[in-house]
Structures are given as structure tokens and as C-alpha cells.
Amino acid sequence: MVFDWQIMNEMANDMNMDTQQKLNKLRWIGVSSVEKLTTALQKEDIHFSSSEFPALGRAITNTFGKNSGMFPIPEWLATVFSTIAQGRTVNSICDPYARIGLLIGIMQEATQAKSIIACTLANSEAALGKVLVGDAEWKEEIQSIYLAH
């Protein structure tokens, strides 16, 4: 399994030079699993902006498959959510099915929420999510109680 660098290359023009250099390091390390991707991102201190999340999600899904629990956020959907939330002030947000946190990362940036709760069922999703959306409080269980509040 080889990481989908074609999509990452498409994103490269929108990334700063530092992030491009860090991604080039990942190419040489070899990323063959979600766990190795998580470890490499942590070790190399690679961070993505929420505007890069849709392409990152596509690359992860293309590489590891939808059965791995990864689900890409289409760019149009990210734009819709971001536009709707832009300028709204909220104290907290919760995604009861966050997976790796791409959507809640987009919403956090748009709303500037102080409290972020991301829930997922898979340890590997939570581990990668903690790297991608480090400000979130990660719960490794679905929190239906949050839906009622």
C-alpha cells in the first residue's frame, strides 16, 4: 500500500514551503498504514490547515480504503459547512461521529469554538484525529448524549 501522493501533489501549490518539505520527508519514510501515517505526522511535526483537510481526506481514503474507517469530506461540503458557520460564535461543538476529525476541524476554525469534542469508535481514527485536530477532546466511543444538548 502506497500513500496517494498524486492528490497531495495537487494540494502542494496551496501549502506553505515548510509543509511541502515535511511531506517530502514522508515520501522517503514510506507510509503503509494509518498507524505509520499517524506516527510519521507526529515525529515530523506535520500539521495541516482545515482548508487542506478535504484533499488530505481523499488521499487517506484512496490509500487505505473506505473500509479502514476513513471518509473523505468533499470540498463543496467543507465549503458549505464553513460558510454557514463563518462568523457565528459558539462555545462548544461536538461531532458524535468524527472519524479522524476533518469536519470538526473545519468547523472549529470557522466558529473559533473553545471546546471541541470529537467521538469515534476506532483507536486508529482517534490517534490520527488527535494529530490532525489536536485541540479536540477525543472520546473513543459514540456519544449520543451530546446529540440531545
* Helix (H), strand (E) at residue 95: strand 92-95
Higher pLDDT, residue 141 or 96? 96
Closest CA to 117 of 81, 146, 85: 146
Count CB-CB contacts under 10 A for residue 17: 8
Beta bridge partners of 138: 118
> What's the CA gap between 142 and 132, in Å, rounded?
19
pLDDT tens, position by position, 84-137: 988 888 999 999 988 899 999 999 999 999 999 999 888 888 999 999 999 999
